[in-house]
Amino acid sequence: MHAMATLIADPLNDPLYYLKHFDFMLDSLGVDRERFLSAAQQATVERLQGLPIEARCLFVRLYLRKGNFFRTDKLDYSEIGDLNTAIHHLIEDGFLSRLSDERLDLSITMRNIAELKEEGLLLHLPSALAGRPNIDQALLSQIGSLQVPRLDIIQLQHRNLIDRCQLAYFGNAHQDLSNLILTDLGQRSFESTRCTTTKWRSQTVIDLASLLLVFRREIDYLSSRLKDEKGSLVVKDDLRATLEQLLDGFPAMLNEPLVQRRYDRTVGAAGRLAERLDANELALKWYALSEASAIVERRLRVMSKLNIPGTEALAERLLGSSLTASEIKYAERLLGRPTHYSARKVPEFGLSLNTEMLNSYEGGIERQVIDWLHDHRGQTAHHTENMVFSGLFGLLFWEVIFAPIDGAFFHPYQSGPADLFDADFYPRRERWFQDRFKKLESKRYRDEQFV
């Protein structure tokens, strides 16, 4: 990986580094904004960029934090100066709102335990009550009779719009502004590539991608609630109802490979959550939305559990897809017979098997095997976990992987091409792959590489 030029001359000593990275991201979208932002959304972004620098700094600071609600008495950003003025500008232009008395619950949940004690709000709770969720639930059930001093709480607005811009720039949901910041600080590096195009061809595509991001966050939140509440029946009923509501509003899939994997992953996460909620019929409804082989396999498992007719026909369909070994075995088990997939001839290797009993000691079995091979066979061994094949692939085909294929690279913070896991990844680069395979077969190359 090559170090990239920094966006800021001295990021370690620039207190406004985060604002400059934020502006860089928005400016990089440039004229392409009209591809993924409506006229109203573009106007909102321009209005934000026209605010005084203090207000923009505060907006970015809050955007980079978790959640949308913030106590003004807990905000402390020395580089911003007068926070009240910054808050005023943001409220005036609709980028912040000050909460009214109707959200009294937040004046409870946003206080820590020491503050709740100080306000005398824990006096009437059972002394045996433990755990913040239980304390909050008990207080909220009595909120009408409690004297709760109001906190000054502000709410961030337009987070989804900035999420959309971030998604448009990075093309995925797992990268964010921290990639720019950490790269500038020299803590992360990416291969220098030639960006060939923007990822998004239309507003419709990024509309779906943005919507899927919202759904996935909600599904992940429901999953975390199930884990936190340890399977409470009341919570399960509530989560089932919410998951059904999400299904009713879930979008239909476009014929668009750019968002297909995200769509399938979201469907799979919802279906697995439904299974954990013992809502198998609901899981089937979710799984029916995707034809990805991994999801079809989950669908088959649930159908088999419920003794629903049609599993054999679906298993046959599954075998017509790109499959993993486990998916093939499961389909064969359902059909009660081997298929041509398992009948394929596997090359035989003449490997000898020796059994040795090793004494247990600290350092792990891998270290024991490495030491034994060195001491008894004079061989050098290395423990690589699962990195050896992907590592060799990267070393042998680096130039092919990072070739400037149209649509593969669209921002400088990609660790690999956008189509790396797409079905047409190889066909689009077949000529280069074949050239590299021929090179691998040549004696000169093997001698040069000590192969």
The domain ranges of the chain are 11-159+173-184, 364-448
pLDDT digits (tens, 9 = 90+) for 410-435: 777 777 887 887 767 888 899 999 99
pLDDT band at residue 151 under the 50/70/90 scheme: very high
Q: What phi and psi values does residue 4 have, to the nearest 5 degrees?
A: -95, 155
- pTM across the whole model: 0.65
Residue-wise pLDDT tens digits, 320-364? 655 555 666 666 666 555 554 454 555 666 767 777 777 766 667
Residue 202 CA to residue 252 CA, distance in Å, equals: 17
pLDDT band at 144 (very low <50, low <70, confident <90, very high): confident
> What's the pLDDT at 377?
86
Which percentage of the chain shows pLDDT scores above 90? 29
Q: What totals of helices (H) and strands (E) does the chain contain, helices first?
A: 22, 3
Query: Cα separation of 95 and 48, whole Å?
Result: 8
List all residues 6 or more positions away from 179 whose beta carbon is below 8 Å from its beta carbon: 170, 188, 413
User: Collapsing DSSP states into helix, strand and coil, what is residue 128?
Assistant: coil
Across the range 228-246, mean pLDDT stands at 81
pLDDT value at residue 4:
42
> For 309-320, what is the mean pLDDT?
66
Per-residue confidence (pLDDT) for residue 249, from 0 to 100 = 92
Per-residue model confidence (pLDDT) at position 413:
73
Check residue 332 and give left, alpha or beta (phi > 0: left; psi -120 to 50: alpha).
alpha
d(C-alpha 370, C-alpha 6), whole Å: 42
- Whether the CB-CB separation of 151 and 71 falls below 8 Å is answered with yes
Does the pLDDT value for residue 200 go beyond 60?
Answer: no
Whether the CB-CB separation of 368 and 358 falls below 8 Å is answered with yes
pLDDT: is 428 or 254 the higher one?
Answer: 428
Higher pLDDT, 27 or 317: 27
Q: Which two tokens stand for residue 346?
A: 């596997």
Task: Choose among 204, 165, 179: nearest CA to 32.
Answer: 165
The overall longest dimension of the chain from CA atoms, in Å, is 85
Of 176 and 401, which is predicted with more confidence? 401
pLDDT at 230 (0 to 100): 65
Question: What is the pLDDT at residue 277?
Answer: 93
Rounded mean pLDDT of the chain? 81
In this prediction, residue 171 carries a pLDDT of 73
3-state SS track over 268-319: HHHHHHHHHCCCHHHHHHHHCCCCCHHHHHHHHHHHHHCCCCCHHHHHHHHC
3-class secondary structure per residue, 333-376: HHHCCCCCCCCCCCCCCCCCCCCCCCCCCCCHHHHHHHHHHHHH
Report the C-alpha gap between 429 and 422 in whole angstroms.
Answer: 12
Give the per-residue pLDDT at 198: 57
**pLDDT exceeds cutoff 80 at 149:** yes
Q: Rounded to an integer, what distance in angstroms lies between the CA atom of residue 359 and that of residue 365?
A: 10
Q: Is the dihedral of CA 324, 325, 330, 334 positive or negative?
A: positive
Hey, which residues does 356 pair with through a beta bridge? none
The closest alpha carbon to 409, from 163, 193, 183, belongs to 193
Q: What is the mean pLDDT of residues 174-178?
A: 77
pLDDT of residue 175: 76
The whole-angstrom separation of Cα 238 and Cα 299 is: 23
What pLDDT, on the 0 to 100 scale, is given for residue 5? 42
Report whether pLDDT(63) > 80.
yes
Lowest mean pLDDT among 177-181, 198-202, 305-309, 392-396: 198-202
Q: How far is CA 294 from the centre of its chain?
A: 18
How do residues 94-134 score in pLDDT, each as one tens digit? Answer: 999 998 777 889 999 999 999 999 999 888 788 777 778 88
**pLDDT given for residue 176 in this prediction:** 78
| 51 and 87 Cβ atoms separated by less than 8 Å | no
Q: Confidence class of residue 190 from pLDDT cuts 50, 70 and 90?
A: low
* Dihedral sign, Cα of residue 137, residue 142, residue 146, residue 152: positive
Contacts of 136 (CB under 8 A, 6+ apart): 108, 109
